[in-house]
Structure 1
């Protein structure tokens, strides 16, 4: 059976294991049901997620023009400490930025390849952790806006990475970390502006289990620009990656805006 559509990040549902769905405009695929089966992916074009024009994707699913004009990809997305909506100052579109920035945000510690610090909107817990392929995660503070979360993350980045090593994550690292103990150690590292929001007594540890039959010893990333057609047996899904038997991995989120056909 053939499915065709524009790639967007897989939708997820918490479970044991996590359930993954690839959603197109007129259809969807339950990806867990494709484990241990051969699938074929073929590149068929581009469609910007913002303007919907068939223009080459520049970054994050957006064409060049939309990437530099849409408020959905302002610098404060990747660097929340640059948020200014709490001051009434616009970056690209104040109404949009107030809607996104002026809501509860969580700063967290997570384990994917190693302990990392990150920021997400409260409404994106635990989706954000799933998308990063985290095996464990714990909230450190819950603040009322993105700026406070951003300056907290900056302070903690002196002690923890803010990046996930995707290769290690997909090879299922076996190192063990105690996130609750790590959280206890960092209260004094939190900026004074955000310290009142520290989760002193709340130690809810999220543990996440992914649908992976086997983890590869080595991984190689599938790039549709270089390899427009690929066929392989799906053996796992972790983060936003499809993992194939030959060690090929395909980052769905990294290919947002690409139009593909998938034969199953």
Structure 2
């Protein structure tokens, strides 16, 4: 079976385990069905996810020019506390910023390598947790805009981590945590503007990933340096493909790469 297209992050469907789909313009693959099969990946060229031109990808699937121009790559995406649509102030495109920022957002705790705090739009729960490879997660507050979520995250980062160790996550070198206790412990540090949005009576969500074999000594596949790779697919976690020889491939980190995929 042969497939060709530009890589974007894998789409997911909640279940036991999570179902993963690699979606191309005219085709898609259910990646779970490829477990224990030989898969080859061949890097062909770049294609910016915004302008669709064959230009080297800079970050997040965008070429250099698009990354510094389009609202989808603005600073408030990574740092939600910089959001300004709630005060009617434009960054790059106020209409877009209002559409994205002025909707319910969730501040959450997720455990993928350790307990970390994060922010996502409510519509992205539990997708965001799946993409991070979290095996358990819980909401702390649900606020009406991105700015409130951002300042809450900043306040909580003084008391809990905000980064995932991707190597620990992929090795599954993790332990379970009582996220309800973490949520209650952190309540006192929520800014007063967001205190009323604290979620008191919820339970953690547990996530099961389709992994047959976890890697021991990770080897990260870089398609620019190694344009062709072939291996037996043994698992999918977060946005990573895990292969039998301990090679791991970050699909999301390779957005905007046009590839040919062959399954034997």
TM bucket (normalised to shorter chain) is over 0.9
- Residue 48 of structure 2 corresponds to 48
Per the TM alignment, residue 174 of structure 1 is displaced from its structure 2 partner at its CA by: 3.3
- Residue 121 of structure 1 corresponds to 121
- Residue 216 of structure 1 corresponds to 215
**Structure 2 spans left out of the alignment, 5+ residues:** none
Q: How many residues align?
A: 263
1:229 aligns with 2:228: yes
Please say if residues 159 and 186 of structure 2, whose CA atoms lie closer than 8 Å, have aligned partners that are also in contact.
no
1:197 aligns with 2:205: no
| Deviates most, 167-176 or 105-114 | 167-176
- Residue 262 of structure 1 corresponds to 261
Per the TM alignment, residue 205 of structure 1 is displaced from its structure 2 partner at its CA by: 1.1
Per the TM alignment, residue 226 of structure 1 is displaced from its structure 2 partner at its CA by: 0.4
**Separation in structure 1 between the aligned mates of residue 114 and residue 64 of structure 2, nearest angstrom:** 33
Per the TM alignment, residue 204 of structure 1 is displaced from its structure 2 partner at its CA by: 2.4
Per the TM alignment, residue 203 of structure 1 is displaced from its structure 2 partner at its CA by: 1.7
- Residue 237 of structure 2 corresponds to 238
TM-score under structure 2 length normalisation: 0.99
**Structure 1 spans left out of the alignment, 5+ residues:** none
- Residue 158 of structure 2 corresponds to 158
**Separation in structure 1 between the aligned mates of residue 83 and residue 258 of structure 2, nearest angstrom:** 33
**Separation in structure 2 between the aligned mates of residue 183 and residue 51 of structure 1, nearest angstrom:** 42
**Separation in structure 2 between the aligned mates of residue 143 and residue 218 of structure 1, nearest angstrom:** 41
Per the TM alignment, residue 161 of structure 1 is displaced from its structure 2 partner at its CA by: 1.3
TM-score under structure 1 length normalisation: 0.99
Tell me the SS of whatever aligns to 1:196: helix
Tell me the SS of whatever aligns to 1:120: strand
- Residue 186 of structure 2 corresponds to 186
Per the TM alignment, residue 86 of structure 1 is displaced from its structure 2 partner at its CA by: 0.2
Per the TM alignment, residue 77 of structure 1 is displaced from its structure 2 partner at its CA by: 0.2
Please say if residues 2 and 260 of structure 2, whose CA atoms lie closer than 8 Å, have aligned partners that are also in contact.
yes
**Separation in structure 2 between the aligned mates of residue 224 and residue 217 of structure 1, nearest angstrom:** 21
CA RMSD across the alignment: 0.6
Tell me the SS of whatever aligns to 1:186: helix
- Write the deviation string for residues 133-183 of structure 1: whole angstroms up to 9, x where unpaired: 000000000000000000000001011111110000000023221101111
